[in-house]
Structure 1
Amino acid sequence: MLTPVKDIGHDVKELVRIRKEHEDTIFKRRNIKPRIEFYTNSQYIKVYCADRQAYLNKNGPRCKCIEQEKHLNQSLRKVPKDEKLFNPRLINDEFTPQIMEWVSTEYKCAPCLRSSTKMIATSDFLFIFGGSNPNMSKNSKSALQDVHRFNILTRKWTKLNVDNIPASLICFSTCWNPNPSDTNLVGYIYGGAYDSEGIQMSNELYKFLIDSDGGISFEKVHVENKPSPRCGSAMIMNKTGKLYLIGGADEKGYLCDVWVLDMKMGKLSWKEIKHGCLLKGRYMHEVMLIYDKIFLIAGGDGDWSAPLDKIDVFDIKTQKFIQINTLSDENHGYPHPRQFLSAVIDGTDAYIIGGLAYIKSEQGPASSNMADTKIFSDIWKLSQIIIDGEIFYKWNKMSTSLKMALFFHASAITPEGCVYNFGGCIDAKFMYPSNKLQRFWINPPTLKQISMFKALSNNPSLIEQIQDLRQSLSMKLIRGH
C-alpha cells in the first residue's frame, strides 16, 4: 500500500496517527499488528504485516487483498526511479513521440484496480467504464458499475454521478458514432457480463452522450429481434449510421455471426447477416473499419488465437467474409496470435497493444495454465500501403512498448493522436489488475498543447485556482485569470 504523505521526520505523534489510519480491519480481527516503515526521502509510507507470510500460508485465498498488494509491490519495484510514477503533482511537459511513458495522476481519486474495462477519449477527457476486480471484498464477482473521468490537462480523476449505467460492464463492446452532433459526442455500449465468470450476460444496447463540459448520460435503446446475450463481441458503426456487431461468446459457445442495426430507422430491429462462411467463433477481438471493410483483429477461444499474418475481413458491400494476407515486418516478422488485447484506429492505421496468448504444446492444444501463457507488452502498427496501384496491409513493430506487460486493459486515442492505456491484468491467473495510466504519442503534439502543459508545470497553482481548466478552454481561462 503506497500513500503520499508529508515529510514527517521523527514526529512520534504523527507516526501514531498514521499507524491508526492504516490499520486494516483484517488485522484487527486477527489481532495482528502491522509494522510501519517510512522513508522521508521518497515521502511515502509502506505498511507491512509482521506476520504476512505466515498469515498467507495459513489463510491462502482468504487474504487475496494482502497477496495482491505484495505482488503489485514486487512488480512496481522494477520501475526505474526516474519514471516518477508516484509523484501525483507531476505535470508531464516533455513529449517524445512514439515513446511510452507513465502518466502521473492524483491517485487518491483514481479508479480502483480493474480489468475488462473500456475507455473513451476526447480532446479534454478520458472516460473509464466499469470493469472487474476479483479481489474486492464486496460483490467481488460483480461488474463495477461506475464511470470515472480523467482531465488530460490537470491529471485529475473524478468519479461521476450518473444514472442508468449498464450493469453488465465486463467484456462489453463499445463504439463511437462517426457522425457527431453539434452539442454531444454519441457512442453505444452493447452486451457484456454481469459477473466475472460470465454466468449471466446481456444483449441490451445503451446509448451514451458526452457534452462539451465532460458530462455523460446513458439511455437504454429499445430494439427488437436482439442477438443472444453475449460478451467479448466487437461493434463498430459506419458513416451511414449502421451498427455492426460481430462474434463474441454466449452460453452455447463462441460465435462468428454478424448483426446489423440501422440507427436511422424509426423502428429499431437487429438483423442477422447470413454470410455463409464457416469461420471459427471468436471473442475478445478488435475490429477496424477501412472504407467498406471491417477487419477482425486477433481474438480467439479457449484453445485457439486468430493468426495475424492472415486477417478475416467482412465486406459490407458483398455481405461476405474474405481473407487478406498481410506483409510482415522486415526485422520482427508478424505479431504473435493473441487475445485480450486492445487496439486503436488512426485513419487507415491500426495499433494493437499488449494481450495474452495460450501457448500450444507439442502434446496437445493450448493450455490455460499459467506456465503455458504469455503476456505481451509489445505494440504493433498495421498500415495500408499502395504498391503499383494495389493496396496492401503491412505490420510494423513499434520501437516503444508498454511499461509492463498487460492484457484485459483499455486503450483509446485522442483526436490529437495521443494513445492512452489504462488498467488491465498483470498476471496470467487474472488475479492482479492495475489502475496505472500510460500514454504515447503517434504524432508530435501541437505547439498549443506543449505550451499549456509547460505553463501548468511552471505554475501548478493554476490547477487549484481555475476549477474548470481543460484543453479546449485553457488559453481563454488563463488569459482571463
Structure 2
Amino acid sequence: MAAKTDLATAVEKHFCSSTVRFRNIHPKYKPYDKKRPKGRSGHCMCADESDIYIFGGYSPMDDRNGVRQSRVLPELWRFNFASQKWSQVDADNTPITCASSSIAVRNKQVFVFGGTGYPFGQIMSNTINTLKLNVPALQAAGESMFDKQKMKHTWQLLKTRAPSFSEDSEEEDNTPPPAYGQSLMFHKNALYIFGGAIGYYCEAVSDLHKLNLNTLCWERLRPTGRIPSGRYKQEVVLDNDRFYVLGGGRLHYAEGLDKIYAYDIAHNHWSEVITKPDPEHGYPRPRCSFGCAQDGKNVYISGGRHYSADVEHRSLMDIWHLHLDTFQWKKLKMKLPDALYFHSAIVSPSGHMYIFGGVHRDGFRAPYLYKIRLPHTMPKLAEICWEKLCVISRVQKVLTAGNLTEMGVPWNLVDRIH
C-alpha cells in the first residue's frame, strides 16, 4: 500500500485529530439576554445548509423577583452558520404544545409535530404545524441582514385528514394519537411518525403512522416482523429506504443499544439489527433523551439519561459513533462538556457537531451552543472554503451579501447569510 501523501496526512490531521474539545460559541451568557435563546430542555432541533432551527422546550427558571416559574417556550430560533449569530423568528400562531415536539425542515419550511404543554401530558398535540422561512432573493446585493431578519411569518396548521368510515365500520381512526417525544422523518413524498408518550404516567407506544404529502391523508401502518417496544425520546436515522430506531425510554427503564430496529419502508417490515460492540468499551449504556446527529452513514450519539428499575437515574457525557453499513459501535475520545440529557445535536455542512441546551447534573438548563469537529466526517471542499471565508469576513466585519457578491462568491452561498 502506497504511503500517504503530505496532503492526505495534513487533511487527516486537521479533520480527525482535532476532536477532543468542544468550543462554546457564546461563553458569556446573560439570563435576560433577548438576542439568544434561554437555557431549556425538551426542545427540538434540526438544520439545513444555512441554519440551525430550535423550537420550543421547557424552562423552570427564576424570574427577576426570584420566583420559580415552570413554563414551556413557544418560540422558534435560528442560528446562522455563516454569521454565527442567533435570531428569533418573528411568527404568529406559534403552537403552545412545544415541549418534546418533533421537528424537520424541508425546502426552508419547518414542520413541527406533536408535543406537550406544562404540566406534561395534560395537553398534548397530534397536529402538524408548518412555517415557511423562504427569504425572497435580494432585490439589491447590498440589502442588509437586518431587513431579512425582520420579516413576519405565520405558523400554519397543516389540514390533514383520515379516511372516513361509516358509523357501522369497525375500522379505527388512522390519525396519530396526541402524544409527545415521538420521532418525525421524511422519505420521498411522505412523512412518518413513530412512538411517543400518550400521557405522563402511561406506557409509551410503538405506533407507526404515514402521512401522504400529496393527499394529506394519514395511514396507520401495520408492519410485519419484530416490532419494537413502545418508547419515547428515542432517535431515528434514515438510510436510503430504511430508518433505524435507537434507544428511547419507557416508564421504568431505558432501551439498550446492543440492538436497534430497522424499518423497511418498501416492504412495511420491522427487523432487529444486532450491533457490534466497541472492542475495548463494549456497548453504549441504554439511554433515552440523548443527542443524535447524522452525516450520511455516520451516526453520533451523545449523553442522555440512563435508568432502570434497579438503577437510579444517571446522566451521561459519553459520545459514540455508529456506522450504518457495519453497525459497529466506537466510543470516541471526546466527551460532552458536562453530563447532559434532553439536549439536541446536529451535524453542519462544515462537518461540525453542534449541541444545544439540555439538563446538567445539577438540574441547570444549559443556554450554551457547543461546537466540535467530528472525526469520521469529511466535508466537501466548497464547504471548507466557505467556512474559512466566513471566519475571515467576520473578523474583518465585511460579512454582507453585497461584499461577498462583489468578491465573486456564488449566490447559492451568499444567500445563506442571515
Q: What's the TM-score once normalised by structure 2's chain length? A: 0.77
Amino acid at match of 2:69: S
2:261 to 283, 298, 312: 312
Structure 1 SS opposite 2:390 = helix
2:124 counterpart of 1:201? yes
The 1-side partners of 2:227 and 2:87 are apart by 46
2:337 counterpart of 1:408? no
Contact 2:196–2:204 (8 Å) recurs in 1: yes
1:254 to 190, 197, 204: 204
CA drift of 1:479 comes to 8.0
The 2-side partners of 1:320 and 1:100 are apart by 41
Structure 1 residues 357 and 167, CA gap change in structure 2 (3 angstroms): same
CA drift of 1:259 comes to 0.5
2:115 counterpart of 1:175? no
Contact 1:134–1:196 (8 Å) recurs in 2: no
User: C-alpha offsets along residues 55-76 of structure 1, whole Å, 9 cap, x if unaligned?
Assistant: xxxxxxxxxxxxxxxxxxxxxx
Structure 2 SS opposite 1:452 = helix
CA drift of 1:329 comes to 1.4
User: C-alpha offsets along residues 200-246 of structure 1, whole Å, 9 cap, x if unaligned?
Assistant: 1111111232325566653110112321100011110112x111111
What is the match of residue 101 of structure 1? Answer: 22
Aligned-residue RMSD, C-alpha: 2.6
Identity over aligned pairs, percent? 26
1:376 to 316, 321, 325: 316
Q: Counterparts in 2 of 1:24-103, with a 5 A limit?
A: 97-103=18-24
Structure 1: where are the runs of 5+ without partners?
A: 1-93, 386-391
Structure 1 SS opposite 2:42 = coil
Structure 1 residues 186 and 157, CA gap change in structure 2 (3 angstroms): closer
CA drift of 1:143 comes to 1.6
1:150 to 70, 79, 91: 79
1:327 to 245, 265, 276: 276
The 2-side partners of 1:102 and 1:206 are apart by 33
The 1-side partners of 2:115 and 2:310 are apart by 25
Structure 2 SS opposite 1:353 = strand
Q: Counterparts in 2 of 1:384-399, with a 5 A limit?
A: 384-385=324-325, 392-399=326-333
The 1-side partners of 2:316 and 2:113 are apart by 27
1:218 to 155, 173, 182: 155
Contact 2:227–2:271 (8 Å) recurs in 1: no
Amino acid at match of 2:112: I
Structure 1 SS opposite 2:217 = coil
Structure 1 residues 416 and 474, CA gap change in structure 2 (3 angstroms): farther
What is the match of residue 56 of structure 2? Answer: 130
The 1-side partners of 2:79 and 2:266 are apart by 39
The 2-side partners of 1:164 and 1:139 are apart by 27
What is the match of residue 42 of structure 1? Answer: none
The 1-side partners of 2:350 and 2:109 are apart by 19
The 2-side partners of 1:409 and 1:396 are apart by 21
Structure 1 SS opposite 2:129 = strand
Structure 1 residues 142 and 209, CA gap change in structure 2 (3 angstroms): same
Contact 2:102–2:182 (8 Å) recurs in 1: yes
Could you say which structure has the higher helix fraction? 1
Q: What's the TM-score once normalised by structure 1's chain length? A: 0.67
Structure 1 SS opposite 2:286 = coil
2:301 counterpart of 1:352? yes
The 2-side partners of 1:246 and 1:424 are apart by 22
Q: Greater RCO between the two (CA within 8 Å, min separation 6)?
A: 2
CA drift of 1:403 comes to 1.2
CA drift of 1:423 comes to 0.7
Structure 2 SS opposite 1:248 = coil
Amino acid at match of 1:404: D
What is the match of residue 91 of structure 1? Answer: none
What is the match of residue 10 of structure 2? Answer: none
The 2-side partners of 1:383 and 1:97 are apart by 20
What is the match of residue 452 of structure 1? Answer: 390
What is the match of residue 340 of structure 1? Answer: 289
Moved more, 314-323 or 103-112: 103-112
The 2-side partners of 1:146 and 1:455 are apart by 30
Larger radius of gyration: 1
Amino acid at match of 1:141: S
Structure 2 SS opposite 1:382 = strand
The 2-side partners of 1:352 and 1:346 are apart by 12
The 1-side partners of 2:339 and 2:105 are apart by 27
**Count of residue correspondences:** 352
Structure 1 residues 474 and 262, CA gap change in structure 2 (3 angstroms): farther
Contact 2:227–2:270 (8 Å) recurs in 1: no
2:90 counterpart of 1:164? no
Structure 2: where are the runs of 5+ without partners?
A: 1-13, 136-147, 163-174, 410-418
